[in-house]
Chains A and B, each alone.
Chain A
Amino acid sequence: MKCFLITSEQSEVLFYWTDQEFQQNIQEKYGASQEEGHGLPAFEDSISTQFAPIIISFSTVLEQHSDNYTCFTTENNHTYVLHQFDECLYIAVNGDGEEKEDDLRRKIYVMKKMTEVLFGMVTLSGTLLKKELRPQDTEQRARLWTRLQGLLETYSSLRENDQSFLVEAVERLIHPTLCEQCIEFLERRLVQQLNSSVERAGEEVLHAFILVHTKLLAFYSSRNASTLTTSDLLALIIMVQNMYPSNVDLDDQSAEVRNADNCSTTQAQRDAESTSGSGPESFYTPEPSSSDGNSSSSGGSSGSESAGLLSMAEDPLHTLDASPPDPSTPRRVFLEVSLRDGLYPMMPHSMYCLPLWPGITLVLLTKIPTNAVAMSVYKFLEAFAKLEKRLSEIQGSSAASRGQQTIHEIRSKLDKFVKALGQSEIQLQNAWSEFKSKAFGRGGPGFTTDLIPCCNNMKTQLCGVYRQCFLAESGPSDISRRLSPGLQERAQTMVQEKLVDWKEFLLVKMRRVVVYLDPDYLTYLDDFPGLVHFICVDRSTGRMIAPSLNISERTTSELGKGPVAQFIKSKVWSLVRTTRSYLQKGHSTVTLRDGDFYFCYFLWFENETGYKLEAGDIPVLPDDSAPIGMLAWDYYRKLLRYYSKNHQGEAVKCYELLTVHLGVIPSEIILQHCRQLASKLWEPSRNPLL
């Protein structure tokens, strides 16, 4: 019973996703209210009709009570979460208890983040975004919605199954030698070769990384690239997972199915392997998930196979193929760039996903030649937004004059920009002339509130230009503006050659993360008797480390397998949710005795040299504030900035540690364990992460 909906204020559906149960529910409700004789209308219409009263009431209350709905619950524990971003209202519903209010709000924010990555600054204009999300052409709309639905399902499945998406930090594969070798290879061989090739067509590879499932094997950024934020990296991993789904548990399931079809001997072999295997030398090798590993059509949505996420077989949208027409076509993604002169959100990049083997992918992010246009557009947009805010906020000459200044500063630049675009952007030209005549002309109103519509129009036009430049359907001329297929193929082969000997090892490694705290390769269970599980996160870099939690019957982890691991997993998931709710209210240390377990959570700050800094006050946030995490909204970046105010000139780092112990262990021992974990895990000599 799940549903996700984006609508306009006029209750026009801009996007929806439902599971089968919810779809049936809606259709029954709608069918009951319709007269007989008429076939069921398009699902899109039924859902819009059913939600219309809520949507209309939302805007009425907002308008007249200047407050808005954030959450509804019913007696049978259905939860509705609502949030408005500009002109779009997002509604997430859960009726099966699998997601709590926090999860639904997070989903909304993640979806918002995904639209930003996909549509960039077009999201800054409500009108344009609405058009973008709901293309007039039904076929195009169906294609887009299927793609978004796939992303949403992929995200949900990752959040439910993957620890790195639970805590929203990137997990790395821990193998110092291999990691080092790979990074060196990416730097010296791959990126250098790509960037010196003539076939790159003006594009420049900024970042290159290798993913093993959702885990990072190696990451390299070229010297003149800005850092890729954790938020963007996590969003990209979702996209890669959506294109080449490789859920660990999913693999197991499909493997079982395949075995049943083919031969049961492999099954037995594998069982023997997986049960006997306890060290890194034992291998578990999944067969390729399909003969054609490149096509994403085999698993257009990873969630379709996993429990709870059902594809909508009846929906016409799903009959359409969601796979990109040409695998060598890059994806346009919009990522944050921080340069010396400031922060530029949503700058256009091209993303090339080159599958090496099922589950292992090489991702290249390139800067496109027309990047400068985006930066100019952003600067202009910022100036107009600032002006608009000034004009609407304060009535007075001082405010107006300051607003005037910002426009004067960009006036000549914008003149040049408009001129350079020429006749292709006649609307922007007109809007700019109108603005100028109103603002600077003698008869015009000057810098008063009357100028706000003009500001708005300018913003819309600028977003339109941006859309035209970076989002418009790629014409034939576009093909030349990307890394040539040959070049891509070469890159793919190079990395494949490099990693071919490691491939099997990596896939096993992915499954069984044994955290080596000692050079003697002892696992944490021996070092810390009574410790059941832990997660440690470095929030300043957005990296996490945790033993694997495999819940499938076929593989064993330190926690055993099957129901026990499943139980512990559900405890860990709820612990993370709980600690976030305390953190939201300013509590940075939490210990809980819950059933047979004892949970601890610590958040602390250190400086560059590892000196523990004094705990500071953590801001208390309202209940409906953005979810705490790094994917959709980087809470920790804000927290670090807030904390750093009192630590000027010092690089502050922020860490989190979560532990699960058996309840019978005395609390002094538990705290000692936590202390040791906290110091050992990030110790430079032993830690491959640093």
Chain B
Amino acid sequence: MAEFLQPDSRRCSYFFLYDGSKVRGEGDPTRDGICYFYPEETPLDKQELLCGQLAGVARCVSELSSSPVRTLRLRRIKFSIHMKDDFLWALGCSMDVPTVSVCELLDQLISLFCFYSGPVRHSYQLNSQRTLAERWARYLSHLQLGSSALHHIFSSLRTIDSTNVDPLLLLKAALILQACQRCPLVLAGCILFRGRVVSTQMTPELTMKIMVYESETYSRAQRPNGPSSSGSSGGSVSSTNVFLTPSELQCLQSAPVDKDHRYSRRFLRYLKTRLSRTLSDTPSSESDPSDPNSPPVFSPAPSVSSSDSPRPSSRSPPFSNGQASHEAEGEPLDRSYYHSFHSNGDGAAGDSGPERRSPLNGGGRTGAGAGGTGAEWRDGDRTPPPPPPGASETSREEPLVPMTLYMHRVKGLVLALLVEPPFLNDTASMEEVYHSSLASLNGLEAHLRTISPGAPGGRGPYVFAHFDLIQRTLTSNLSGRAGGAPEHSFVRATSLLHSHFCNTETLQEAIIRSAGEAVYGTRSVAQETYFQQHGVLLRNSGIPNHQDSAFSLPAKARSRLLKHGVNLL
């Protein structure tokens, strides 16, 4: 697969988050409501103009139609809009990006923010605008990274070229992940190599989110004086707090693993409670919030922890979820409990004493208080300001479930695991996961490193793009750099057809032709494929003619694309 990076192509020209609750009165300046504006160098009066006008019109239209606005289009720019409570997000792209793709990008961006920072209102109460602005900027640049014209249309997951890799290596990667799941606190994981997915147990959407953190730690590791520069061994472990939506969590739990073996009873009970709250808001009888002794939901008591993972024996866990999430929101990436086992000395590895944990936890240890927070959070109605995540917007949106993202880097290779928050305190589990995978990761890394980037797949007298809707992977032989006229027209036709496919469920295939070229598009439930033959199209009159080469495209696509692993039969 060819690399189609186009450094200058920014698919997003504006992005802003506007908080209408800050601009209520007549005299309130618009700038008070601007939480973040991209590009940041935009003059303030222009920021105010765009935010004020778009927010005003969006409000008026949503009132008229009794529904939030989805898109606002101008002549030269189109905005995808997301309105929630008093917040308004707007993402502006140029006119040639399909509207469906702009909307998708905005949703992706917002969910990325929520994944790392939790509910938006809550994180703006806890953090300075500057900190959060950095995050928006980071996510935005990550989403635009390596985007070619085709990536503007399909937001896809970058994977290693599987045609170029020994299948045994992929199997090995999958086995590493499965081995990690033996620890009951590990939900699911993925293995990445140089910013590309080798193997994943999660949905593409979730994997995409995790890759942001991966690229972040990678760039930090590259910095010579960075705080995280790891020891000579090249192996390092880091973690950060993340937030899953209930549906994401459910999806992870439905993964085919031995559940009885994996989940502690209490956690299951917790889930039940949470889900029932979401659906009907009736507290479960199983967990009585009024009981002051009931432990915080995310801190499984030692008595119920599964037998194969010994845990620290403290009654009140040193790392309560409430505290953890507050901490994490503060600066999740800069102070993300980053540490290297090796720097702490191998001798202490087996020891699970409290001093061993201290580098992990920073200062987030307030035993009884943490328990109280947890109870209140479950309670929901006695929420202290600032409300803890999840509860803050329970009434209006799906509550987010705090989780931890654990990452183990071996040079270019990264093992990323979604784990339950207690995992970080559970030194034994942590070390077991670490040591059981270390050797395999090293081996895998060594193998993957030796694989040549691979000659760009057979370039023939045709271009194609194949998008796997399930795995969200894009295969194409289009070289973004050349950007010749025929390729441009191919991208434009693809964009049109993709929009059409999105809007018309029953549409299965299409051939569209302009004077010079014809593009064939076909889709099934699982995939979309676009194909254009170069050069053979003779000038024609446009009148129906069964000998016209345009109509032989479906057959040509079927035969040509087989060698790219695309089966259209």
Contacts and interface: CB of A to CB of B under 8 A. Distances in A.
Interface of A: 25-26, 29, 50-51, 53-54, 57, 60-61, 64-65, 67-76, 78, 80, 93, 95, 574, 578, 581-582, 585-595, 600, 602-605, 612-618, 622-624, 657, 667-668, 671-672, 674-675, 677-678
Interface string B529-568: 0000000000111111110101100000000000000000
Interface string B55-94: 0110111111111111111111100000000000000000
A56 to B, nearest CB: 9
Interface in B4-60: 46, 49-50, 53, 56-57, 59-60
A65 B73 CA distance: 14
Contacts of B509: 592-593
Interface residues of B, number: 54
Contacts of A675: 543-546
Contacts of B544: 600, 602, 657, 671, 674-675, 677-678
Interface stretch (B252-260, B301-309, B406-414, B510-518): B510-518
Interface in B497-538: 500, 504, 506-516, 518
A593 B507 contact: yes
B493 interface: yes
A475 B499 CA distance: 57
B95 interface: yes
A69 B508 contact: no
A69 B73 contact: yes
B492 interface: yes
B496 interface: yes
Contacts of B515: 586, 588, 615-618
A622 B95 contact: yes
A622 B75 contact: yes
Contact of A612 (B56, B62, B66, B543): B543
Contacts of B68: 74-75
A72 B49 contact: no
The 5 closest A-B pairs by CB, nearest first: A674-B544, A671-B546, A612-B541, A604-B542, A76-B67
Question: Which of B68, B513, B539, B543 has the largest count of A CB atoms less than 10 A from its CB?
Answer: B543
A65 B77 CA distance: 11
A593 B497 CA distance: 13
B492 A585 contact: yes
A74 B62 contact: yes
Given A617-B516, A671-B551, A595 B506 contact: yes
Given A53-B57, A57-B56, A614-B541, A29 B63 contact: yes
A623 B63 CA distance: 26
Question: Which of A73, A612, A677 has the largest count of B CB atoms less than 10 A from its CB?
Answer: A73
Question: Which of B57, B542, B550 has the largest count of A CB atoms less than 10 A from its CB?
Answer: B542
Contacts of A26: 64
Contacts of B500: 578, 581
A593 B548 CA distance: 18
Contacts, number: 176
A74 B69 contact: yes
B511 A591 contact: yes
Contacts of B548: 671
Contacts of A595: 506, 508
Contact of B540 (A50, A69, A72, A614): A614
A615 B65 CA distance: 45
A67 B77 contact: yes
Interface of B: 46, 49-50, 53, 56-57, 59-77, 95, 492-493, 496, 500, 504, 506-516, 518, 539-546, 548, 550-551
5 contacts: A60-B53, A65-B74, A589-B518, A591-B511, A622-B75
B73 A623 contact: yes
Nearest to A578: B500
A54 B53 CA distance: 9
Contacts of B493: 587
Contacts of B510: 590-593
A550 to B, nearest CB: 24
A78 B67 contact: yes
Contacts of B70: 73-75
A602 B492 contact: no
B506 A53 contact: no
Given A64-B49, A617-B514, A671 B545 contact: yes
Given A54-B57, A587-B512, A594-B507, A67 B74 contact: yes
Nearest to A579: B512
Given A589-B550, A590-B512, A593-B510, A615 B72 contact: no
Given A61-B53, A617-B514, A618-B514, A582 B496 contact: yes
A558 B204 CA distance: 49
Contacts of B60: 50-51, 53-54, 57
B546 A61 contact: no
Contacts of A75: 67-70
Contacts of B65: 74, 76, 78, 95
A191 B410 CA distance: 94
A578 to B, nearest CB: 7
A624 B72 CA distance: 13
A672 B548 CA distance: 11
B516 to A, nearest CB: 7
Question: Which of A574, A581, A591, A613 has the largest count of B CB atoms less than 10 A from its CB?
Answer: A591
Contact of B73 (A57, A72, A586, A603): A72
A587 B496 CA distance: 11
A65 B50 contact: yes
A677 B546 CA distance: 13
Given A589-B513, A590-B512, A615 B492 contact: no
A671 B492 CA distance: 26
Nearest to B96: A623
B552 to A, nearest CB: 10
Nearest to B507: A594
B546 A603 contact: no
A618 B518 CA distance: 14
Contacts of B550: 589
Nearest to A591: B511
Contacts of B46: 65
Contacts of B72: 69, 71-72
Contacts of A61: 49, 53, 74
B542 A605 contact: yes
A70 B99 CA distance: 14
